[in-house]
Amino acid sequence: MRVNVTVNGEQRQADDVWEGESLLFVLRERLGLPGSKNACEQGECGSCTVYLDSVPVCACLVAAGQVQDRDVRTVEGLADGDTLDPVQEAFVEAGAVQCGFCTPGLVVAAHDLLDRVPKPSDPEIREALAGNLCRCTGYEKILDAVRLAASRR
Amino acid sequence: MTLTPAELTSAVSGGIGTSPQRPDGNLKVRGEFAYSSDLWHEDMIWGATLRSPHPYARITSVDLTEALKVPGVYAVLTHSDVPGRNLYGLEHKDQPVLAVDVVRYQGEPVALVGADHPETALRAMKKIVVTYDVLEPVVDMETAAGDTPLHPGGNLVRHVPIRRGSQDVEADVVVTGRYEVGMQDQAFLGPESGLAVPATDGSVDLYVATQWLHVDRDQIAAALGLPQEQVRLTLSGVGGAFGGREDLSMQVHACLLALYTGKPVKMVYNREESFYGHVHRHPAVLYYEHGADHTGKLVYVRSHMYLDGGAYASSTPAVVANAATLGVGPYEVDNVTIDAYGLYTNNPPCGAMRGFGAVQAGFAYESQMDKLAEALGMSPVDVRIRNAMTEGSVMPTGQVVDSAAPVAQLLKLVQDKPLPAGSLTDIRELPGGVSNTTHGEGVVRGVGYAVGIKNICFSEGYDDYSTARVRVSMVNGSLAAAVHTAACEVGQGLVTIMQQIVRTELGIERVTVLPMDTTIGNGGSTSASRQTYVTGGAVKAACALVRDRLAGRTDIGDEVIDETTEWRHRATEALDPVTGQGNAHVQYGFAAHRAVVDVDVDLGLVRVVSLDCAQDVGKALNPQAVLGQIQGGSAQGLGLAVMEEIQTSGGKVRNPSFTDYLIPTVLDMPPMSIDVLELADPHAPYGIRGVGEPPTISSTPAIVAAIRAATGLALTRVPVRPEHLTGT
């Protein structure tokens, strides 16, 4: 099938999409956007989190056909040219990035949290990020990064 | 801390002792860092692996006919298509690239498919007909040695005995125990993956996520029947490792398919396949007897322990040696009798994971120290300090600890930290959290302590070295440096450390880290907490050669200064095979934890309230990265304490997914207060002491001790499950 979708503000088209493919596969393998990550492909780890019509979703759980004529924003669409989004900047500065495989999903999840709750409490941060697994950091520096990004808004 | 060589003072920023941003950080937060699963090549096809559904079976026939008919399939391969040696392994070459006539674990690779779409490959795979004669699996590590032999030499992979002092001395107070450690998974987030690109001359390039490029290359070349120079490896982005990438996974398979089809081949495991595709932490059963006098001084420690290596040896021999040589923990004991056994079974193969044998022993000996404290009426901290090792102490192997061993100080540091307030008001801070399972009723609090010891770098006489190349030239009117190694960056921040070392050594701020690949000499393994020590040492040594040629110049015109050198740490010795005596280790690292837990005794739910840590790192080359290692290592220890286990039944894995294999989330990890000591090791570059593994060892027993203190239960097995707490 053919899928037409707006990705990071650009109208994109993918051809020969097999009906069983996920949004994640289409982004990574057909549209050249591998930033959303394939850590579990079953909605448990959050590393493929993208915005679908401004709502964060696990791209691995969205069938490719479901995004027809809709709007997707991925981690690649957060920076403004060379200027990082404040959340991205804070992740680098705070040391929240080690292997970085969870980072794209966490950056999108934190971006969404700060849009909804500009000054979140620690329990609010923890709840918002509870669907994103990280195996390297023990999360402490991810919390630091979200606090830092919030303080700069 | 006392070691301050003149060369450490540097005019440029971002040198050692500071925390500059990692050079790959921007790419990673933008989603533009190329991990091994992100690779793409014009005209590439996809590889898939058919795996055994049985833990132990004889293969009676394999029929590829229908699979080969699937449109879009380029190749279906079996062991008969392996042109070189069909056996590989880190220490023993005992594992088939593709099974021949027998499978020894569930998930063992049997056949490969190359196809134009991953789904096509999976469909074709399902059309391969393999008939098995299913055999009774060997699954009990304690009886495996006398059971059906799974390999020609029997099921004992290695026995390491340690004999020190008297074997029949008696003590005033004796405590015994049997402890079990479940099978933990590294659960790195980036799945096994890579891209193999064939060249027209019959050679191959592999872009892959691994921990050791050169040993991968050597094993791949042997399997492909190619000279080593015809197999070129380049490190791709690595999504975590923790030991799980020391062994081969898809490396040979992708290269085989690429050479057979003449097309670039991408292979990416999904999470379920990842659980079958790499080795795990050895499950263990450990028997201990500790004897002490009335003052709490240890008189003897006796132990025999079993580590389940699963179907193939992997790094079992070295894991067993660690469990044995570190088996009494960071304590002075004059009389030690230890027998550690690594066994073959039909359980999933086990090998390296952060802590590497020291974790299993650590849970057992620290549980014993608490038991001893209780028998003596002493506090857990006091009994540990009474026996704490110091610099100059003698290990059970006879090796003298010849640099800082601040065991008592680390314990006092965590003991003296303020305790967290009891919060029984905010439901989010209670066991069960917003699941709303309690409002404080049935909740009890406990505090526990533990301290651990880990060897740093490779041991037992291994020639452990790294190769570094540093090149300096003029760029836009000022000196710029490039550093090249084959040492794998897996997330820990070696790329940053290498830049920092070059800045400090050469006073050059602009430092580029070149891609890690096999065009340069061996960098050694990213394991045993060794890369900052050994590759850091090699980069420092290469800088010294460059510095001599620079001779203070800041303008070298068109000259390019390019120096490559190998650097090795001081030599170690083999263990005596009868007594286990010998200077087997290079360096020891120590960390201590204090855990505070709340336990809902009605439901068996645990919330770790705080997990404070003190660790000596010799010298913090990058303080932010040091804290990141301690926090991440402690989190993996927490996982083993209360949730993480690959559960097997009759050799079959019951929970190969992140739905059923749980790792800590941000809700499970408490805030940590961390003290970092910098007691320089005079033998190590800059005085550093390996950081990554020690916190994983003490975290687990500290948490379990806290749960015991809260509940009064014996708790001899990790992970502690709800039913262990409720008795249901």
Interval B308-334: pLDDT, tens: 999 999 999 999 999 999 999 999 999
Q: What is the pLDDT of residues B35-62, one digit of tens each?
A: 999 999 999 999 999 999 999 999 999 9
Query: What tokens does B344 get?
Result: 């073959």
pLDDT band at B1 (very low <50, low <70, confident <90, very high): very low
Domains and CATH numbers, chain B: 6-33+465-568 (3.30.365.10), 45-135+191-238+245-277 (3.90.1170.50), 280-459+576-726 (3.30.365.10)
Pairs across A and B, CB distance < 8 A: 184
Residue B234: alpha-carbon gap to chain centroid: 21
Local structure of residue A27 (DSSP, 8 states): I
Q: Would you call A84 and B29 a contact, using CB atoms and an 8 Å cutoff?
A: yes
Q: Does B23 touch chain A (CB under 8 A)?
A: no
Task: Return d(Cα B239, Cα B247) in angstroms, integer.
Answer: 16
- Three-point CA angle B163, B168, B170, nearest 5°: 125
Q: Would you call A37 and B493 a contact, using CB atoms and an 8 Å cutoff?
A: no
CATH 3.10.20.30 residue ranges of chain A are 3-76
Nearest to B282 by CA among B317, B318, B310: B310
Q: Would you call A100 and B663 a contact, using CB atoms and an 8 Å cutoff?
A: no
Q: Does B116 touch chain A (CB under 8 A)?
A: no
CB atoms within 10 A of CB B20: 17
How much of chain B, in percent, has pLDDT values that exceed 70? Answer: 98
What average pLDDT does this structure show over B517-534?
A: 98
CB atoms within 10 A of CB A81: 5
Which pLDDT value is given to residue B728? 85
DSSP sequence for B208-250: E--S-HHHHHHHHHHHHT--GGGEEEEE-B----TTTTSS-SS
Has residue B7 got a pLDDT over 60? no
- Which residue among B270, B624, B633 sits closest to A41, beta carbon to beta carbon? B270
What average pLDDT does this structure show over B604-609?
A: 97
Task: Return d(Cα B392, Cα B488) in angstroms, integer.
Answer: 34
Q: Would you call B632 and A135 a contact, using CB atoms and an 8 Å cutoff?
A: yes
The residue ranges of DSSP E strands in B457-529, in sequence order, are 465-475, 478-485, 511-513
Q: Does B625 touch chain A (CB under 8 A)?
A: yes
How much of chain B, in percent, has pLDDT values that exceed 90? Answer: 96
Nearest to B450 by CA among B303, B615, B584: B615
Which pLDDT value is given to residue B424? 65
Per DSSP, the three-state class of A121 is coil
What average pLDDT does this structure show over B523-533?
A: 98
CATH architecture of A3-76: Roll (3.10)
Q: Does B551 touch chain A (CB under 8 A)?
A: no
B218-232, B337-351, B413-427: segment of lowest average pLDDT: B413-427
The residue whose two tokens read 């503000």 is A9
Which pLDDT value is given to residue B160? 98
CATH 1.10.150.120 residue ranges of chain A are 86-151
Which pLDDT value is given to residue A153? 82
B515, β-bridge pairs? none
Backbone angles phi, psi at A133, to 5 degrees: -85, 140
DSSP sequence for B17-69: TS-PPPTTHHHHHHT-S-BTTS---TT-EEEEEEE-SSSSEEEEEEE-HHHHH
Q: Under a CB-based contact definition with an 8 Å cutoff, are residues B356 and B282 in contact?
A: no
Q: Would you call B635 and A98 a contact, using CB atoms and an 8 Å cutoff?
A: no
Which pLDDT value is given to residue B427? 87
Has residue B9 got a pLDDT over 80? no
Q: What is the pLDDT of residues A5-57, one digit of tens each?
A: 999 999 999 999 999 999 999 999 999 999 999 999 999 999 999 999 999 99
Q: Could you tell me how many residues make up chain A?
A: 153
Shortest distance between the Cα of B593 and any Cα of chain A, in A, equals 15
Task: Return d(Cα A132, Cα A139) in angstroms, integer.
Answer: 10
Q: How far is CA B71 from CA A18, B77, B254, B326, B599, in A?
A: 15, 16, 20, 56, 57
Has residue B2 got a pLDDT over 60? no
Q: Would you call B658 and A133 a contact, using CB atoms and an 8 Å cutoff?
A: yes
Closest chain B CA to residue A21: B119
Q: Would you call B240 and A98 a contact, using CB atoms and an 8 Å cutoff?
A: yes
Has residue B8 got a pLDDT over 80? no
The residue ranges of DSSP E strands in B617-670, in sequence order, are 648-649, 652-653
Which pLDDT value is given to residue A45? 98
- Which residue among B26, B238, B667 sits closest to A126, beta carbon to beta carbon? B667
Task: Return d(Cα B277, Cα B48) in angstroms, integer.
Answer: 12
Sequence-ordered list of residues with C-beta below 8 angstroms from that of B179, at least 6 positions apart, any chain: B284, B285, B286, B287, B288, B363, B364, B367, B716, B717
Q: Under a CB-based contact definition with an 8 Å cutoff, are residues A129 and A100 in contact?
A: no
CB atoms within 10 A of CB A150: 19
Shortest distance between the Cα of A53 and any Cα of chain B, in A, equals 20
Closest chain A CA to residue B670: A140
Fold exhibited by the domain A86-151:
DNA polymerase; domain 1 (1.10.150)
Which pLDDT value is given to residue B389? 98
Shortest distance between the Cα of B269 and any Cα of chain A, in A, equals 9
Has residue B423 got a pLDDT over 80? no
Nearest to B629 by CA among B702, B688, B701: B688
Task: Return d(Cα B370, Cα B381) in angstroms, integer.
Answer: 9
CB atoms within 10 A of CB B39: 20
Q: H helices within B75-194, ranges in order?
A: 118-126
Shortest distance between the Cα of B571 and any Cα of chain A, in A, equals 31
Q: What is the pLDDT of residues B425-462, one digit of tens each?
A: 788 899 999 889 999 999 999 999 999 999 999 999 99
